[in-house]
C-alpha cells in the first residue's frame, strides 16, 4: 500500500495496515502529523490556554490572591509551541517506524491507478492499493493585495504579536483565533459575509457567542467582506501606523491592521495530485468522491479525511483510516457512522454540540420539545462577571429521545464528549432526569431540566411552557 499524506488519517491507516502485515510506504512533503498536529488543533489549543491565563489572573484578585502585574511574551509562547510540536512529530515518526512503515519525505503524485511518482528524486513506486490522505488547504477568494494576509497555516509562526488584528470569516477557525488573540491583548475586528457567526451551529449558540465576543470588545462587522489589502509605505505623518495594512471592505469599511488573518474555510488539497491521470473522480468543490468504505471510483484507490470534504474533523479522519485498514487489510469489515458526531469550538466560553440543531429537528420531526436554560457560573458570584452560559437540549416530543445538545459554557468540550455517548445510545430526556446531579457543576443543569421551555408542533402554534430560568 502507498499512502499519500502523513496527517491523522494517513498515519493511522498506514500503521494499522502494516500491523496486519501489509508492506506500506507513506509520503509526506512537509511534516508528519498533518494540519491538526503541526498547524491546527494542537497549537491552537495551546494558544487558547495562553489566552485564558489573562482572565484567570484578573479573577484571582477577587479570590484573595495578590499577584505582580503579569507580562505576556509572544516569542516565549511560540517557542514553547514549537517544542511540543517537534516532540509530537517525533512520536508520529517513531510510531510509523515501529510499525514497519517506510516514510519518504517527498511530495507524491499519481501517474496512473497503480503508480506513484516521488517528486524529490523522480522515483516511481508501484502499489496494489493507494490511499490518498492529503487533507485540506486554506481557501482564498481572489482580491487585490491578498498576498499581504496570512492563513491559519502561518498564524502560529508570526515573528511579532499583532496589536491590531483583522480576521476575514466567521467559522471555527476565525472565531477561535478572534477569541484567543483578544484574550492575549490584540484589538480584534471580524469581517463576516453572513449575518451571524458560526454558520451551521444552533441559532441560540450563535447568538450567545456573538454577544459574548461583542461584550469582550471584539468588533463584529456582519454582511460585509474584505475586498482589498494595501501596505502602508511609511510616509511622514503615518506615525505608529507606518507599515501596517489598510483593509477595505465591500461595504466601504476602512480598517488598519498589523496583521490580517484570512479564515474563509478550507478546500480539499487535490491540486496537481495527478487524479486525472488515475481517472479518480472529484466533486465540483474538488473533494474526492468516495463510497461508504472510503473507496473512489477506481477500485484500488481510497481516500480518507478532509480530502473528501465530508466531515472535516480530525477524529473523523482517524476513524476513516482505521475502518479502511481494518476492512482492506484486516478482513474486519466495518463502516464509519457519521451520525451524532460531537464537535467543539475552543472559544472562551467554549461551544460543545452534538446531534441536531433546533431548526434541523423541527424540519424533520412533527413535534419537538426544547429545554433551555441560561445561567451564570458559580465563579461569577465572586468575580462579578455577568456573562451568561447556555445549556440547550432538543427532544423528539413523541419518543422523548434526545436529538441534540448544545452548550455555551466553560469546559463545554469535555461535557459534550461524554454526552455524545448518551445521544448515540438513544438516551431520552427522562433518562437524563433520572440521574442524580453533582452540585455545584455546569453539568447538573443538563440533568436538572424538568419542563420544556417551548414545544413546537407542526399541527399547532408553538407553545412556550416555561420561561428560561437561571440556576
The rounded average pLDDT for each run of 10 residues, N- to C-terminus, in the chain (471 residues) is 97 98 97 93 96 92 92 96 96 96 97 97 97 96 96 94 98 96 97 96 97 96 97 66 92 97 96 97 97 98 96 96 98 96 95 98 97 91 86 97 97 96 96 95 93 92 59 40
Sign of CA dihedral 91, 95, 97, 103: negative
What SS3 class is residue 351?
strand
Output phi, psi for 339, to 5 deg: -80, 145
* Cα 291 off chain centre by: 24
pLDDT for residue 466: 59
pLDDT for residue 235: 55
pLDDT for residue 468: 46
Return the beta strands (E) in 272-412 as ranges: 301-303, 343-345, 350-355, 367-375, 389-396, 402-409
* Model confidence, pTM: 0.93
Sign of CA dihedral 332, 269, 31, 90: negative
Helices and strands (DSSP H and E) totals, the chain: 13, 24
Output phi, psi for 54, to 5 deg: -60, -50
pLDDT for residue 470: 41
Residue pointed to by grid coordinates 433520572? 434
pLDDT for residue 379: 87
Alpha helices by DSSP H, listed for 302-440, are 314-328, 358-364, 380-383, 412-424, 429-433
Catalytic sites, residue numbers: 439
The string of pLDDT tens digits covering residues 106-136 is 999 999 999 999 999 999 999 999 999 999 9
The string of pLDDT tens digits covering residues 285-303 is 999 999 999 999 999 999 9
pLDDT for residue 19: 97
Which uninterrupted H or E stretch holds 464? strand 463-464
pLDDT for residue 461: 72
Query: Cα–Cα distance between 291 and 454 in angstroms, integer?
Result: 40
Amino acid at each position: 500500500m502507498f499512502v499519500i499524506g502523513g496527517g491523522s488519517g494517513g498515519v493511522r491507516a498506514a500503521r494499522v495496515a502494516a500491523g496486519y502485515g501489509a508492506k506500506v510506504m507513506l509520503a509526506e512533503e512537509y511534516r508528519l502529523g498533518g494540519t491538526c498536529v503541526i498547524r491546527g488543533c494542537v497549537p491552537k489549543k495551546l494558544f487558547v490556554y495562553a489566552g485564558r491565563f489573562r482572565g484567570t489572573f484578573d479573577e484571582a484578585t477577587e479570590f484573595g490572591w495578590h499577584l505582580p502585574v503579569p507580562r505576556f511574551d509572544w516569542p516565549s509562547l511560540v517557542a514553547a509551541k514549537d517544542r511540543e510540536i517537534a516532540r509530537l512529530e517525533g512520536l508520529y515518526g517513531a510510531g510509523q517506524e515501529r510499525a514497519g512503515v517506510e516514510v519518504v519525505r517527498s511530495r507524491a503524485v499519481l501517474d496512473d491507478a497503480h503508480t506513484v511518482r516521488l517528486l524529490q528524486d523522480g522515483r516511481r513506486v508501484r502499489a496494489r492499493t493507494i490511499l490518498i490522505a492529503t487533507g485540506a488547504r486554506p481557501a482564498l477568494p481572489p482580491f487585490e493585495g491578498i498576498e499581504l494576509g496570512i492563513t491559519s497555516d502561518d498564524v502560529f509562526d508570526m515573528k511579532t504579536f499583532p496589536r491590531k488584528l483583522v480576521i476575514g470569516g466567521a467559522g471555527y477557525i476565525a472565531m477561535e483565533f478572534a477569541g484567543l488573540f483578544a484574550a492575549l491583548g490584540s484589538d480584534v475586528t471580524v469581517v463576516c459575509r453572513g449575518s451571524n457567526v458560526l454558520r451551521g451551529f444552533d441559532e441560540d449558540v450563535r447568538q450567545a457567542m456573538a454577544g459574548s465576543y461583542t461584550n469582550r470588545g471584539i468588533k463584529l462587522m456582519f454582511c460585509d467582506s474584505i475586498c482589498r489589502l494595501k501596505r502602508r509605505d511609511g510616509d511622514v505623518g503615518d506615525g505608529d501606523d507606518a507599515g501596517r495594512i489598510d483593509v477595505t471592505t465591500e461595504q466601504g469599511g476602512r480598517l488598519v491592521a498589523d496583521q490580517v488573518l484570512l479564515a474563509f474555510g478550507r478546500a480539499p488539497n487535490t491540486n496537481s495530485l495527478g487524479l486525472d491521470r488515475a481517472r479518480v473522480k472529484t466533486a465540483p468543490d474538488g473533494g474526492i468522491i468516495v463510497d461508504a468504505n472510503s473507496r473512489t471510483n477506481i477500485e484500488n484507490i481510497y481516500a480518507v479525511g478532509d480530502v473528501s470534504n465530508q466531515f472535516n474533523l480530525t477524529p473523523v479522519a482517524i476513524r476513516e483510516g482505521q475502518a479502511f485498514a481494518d476492512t482492506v487489510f484486516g478482513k474486519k469489515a466495518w463502516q464509519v457512522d457519521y451520525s451524532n458526531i460531537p464537535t467543539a469550538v475552543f472559544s472562551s466560553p467554549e461551544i460543545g454540540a452534538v446531534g441536531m440543531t433546533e431548526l434541523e429537528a423541527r424540519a424533520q420531526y412533527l413535534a419537538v420539545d426544547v429545554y433551555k436554560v441560561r445561567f451564570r457560573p458559580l465563579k461569577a458570584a465572586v468575580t462579578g462577571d455577568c456573562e451568561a452560559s447556555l445549556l440547550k437540549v432538543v427532544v423528539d416530543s413523541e419518543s422523548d429521545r434526545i436529538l441534540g445538545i448544545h452548550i455555551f459554557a466553560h469546559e463545554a468540550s469535555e461535557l459534550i464528549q461524554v454526552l455524545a455517548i448518551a445521544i448515540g445510545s438513544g438516551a431520552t430526556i427522562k433518562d437524563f432526569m433520572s440521574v442524580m446531579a453533582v452540585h455545584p457543576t455546569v453539568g447538573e443543569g443538563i440533568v436538572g431540566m424538568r419542563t420544556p421551555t417551548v414545544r413546537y408542533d407542526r399541527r399547532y402554534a408553538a407553545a412556550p411552557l416555561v420561561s428560561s430560568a437561571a440556576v
